[in-house]
Amino acid sequence: MEPDGLREFQAHRPRLFALAYRMLGSATEAEDAVQETYLRWDGTDRATIRSAEAWLTTAVVNLCRTWLVSARARRETYAGPWLPEPVPTADGELGPLETVEERELVSLALLTALERLNPVERAVFVLREAFGYAHREIADMLDLTEAASQQAYRRAGQRVRDGRTRFAIEPAHARALIQRFLDAARSGEIDELGRMLAADVTATADGGGRINAARRPVHGADRVARYLAGLFRWAVPGMEIGIEEVNGALSVVVRVAGNPMLMVGFELDGDLVDELLLVVNPDKLAYLAAAGRLS
């Protein structure tokens, strides 16, 4: 590719990855989608392209729409619950996350909820909510009418929000709460741990059949407290447990010799934890591991 075309693509690459990740919930597949978009860009007569941003965005989002059809079939046969692939965000890997709304849009909980949408609804929701495109622009990208884009956006919003209102949690407060949680879990203080959990708390683990993990979500404060106390009781040489920013929120990451073995994401409601998302599938932790080696 000539230098100008390569520079143009490289300038858009971070945004394309951020878009593909939100569409697919997988950093690995998002990288593949960006690479495929690059190959299409390389094989196109760019003299006919009026807007590189519009062309590249349309190419990657429609590629992701196609991939989502096969991804949904794979996830129906997935061993146990499926969760998105965690991405570290302290260094801007998914673009600027300066507001509560921007952070929510990359949260593991919301990306999991996006699995309820069909590919068109997901594309409309991501393009509108995360990237601020007008419905007229979205309709052109997805070959829809503007009215169809608006209708898909309304349906998507209703299905992923669940009528729940999320309140901003100060980072310092969230860190202190997670540290208390971690201390109680590691010391096996089940009563203390239970007091930090909402009565209807849910813990969902993604082992992907690769690692032994609960095949169904665990519900209720007492059961979740005992489950977590048992999980954090084990220790191996070289194990370190820290609090890191993952998908726009503070999470617990357990590493052995620097490699992540477990990531625990939290949904907080005031002083209580009302949802935990645990990723132990090593395939899902590969991007987190690679990012750690580069930092």
Please indicate, yes or no, whether the overall pTM of this predicted structure exceeds 0.75.
yes
- What string of DSSP letters covers 99-143? SHHHHHTT-HHHHHHGGGS-HHHHHHHIIIIIT---HHHHHHHHT
pLDDT digits (tens, 9 = 90+) for 123-150: 999 999 999 999 999 999 999 999 999 9
pLDDT confidence bin for 293, thresholds 50/70/90: low
> What percent of the chain has pLDDT above 90?
77
Do 3-161 and 171-292 share a fold? no
Could you give the CA distance from residue 168 to residue 101 in angstroms, rounded to a whole number? 9
Could you give the CA distance from residue 125 to residue 153 in angstroms, rounded to a whole number? 5
Q: Which of 117, 150, 152 is nearest to 135 (CA)?
A: 150
Domain boundaries, the chain: 3-161, 171-292
pLDDT digits (tens, 9 = 90+) for 186-231: 999 999 999 999 999 999 999 988 887 888 999 999 999 999 999 8
Residue positions counted in the chain: 295
pLDDT digits (tens, 9 = 90+) for 220-252: 999 999 999 998 888 888 899 999 999 999 999
Could you give the 3-state DSSP secondary structure of residue 272?
strand
CATH 3.40.50.1580 fits 3-161, yes or no: no
- Helix, strand, coil percentages in the chain from 3-state DSSP, rounded to 5: 55, 15, 30
| Topology of the domain covering 171-292 | Nuclear Transport Factor 2; Chain: A, (3.10.450)
How many other C-beta atoms lie within 10 A of the C-beta of residue 257? 10
pLDDT digits (tens, 9 = 90+) for 58-101: 999 999 999 998 888 888 888 889 999 999 999 999 998 989 88
| Strands of the 239-246 sheet, one edge to the other | 218-219, 197-206, 272-279, 259-269, 249-256, 239-246
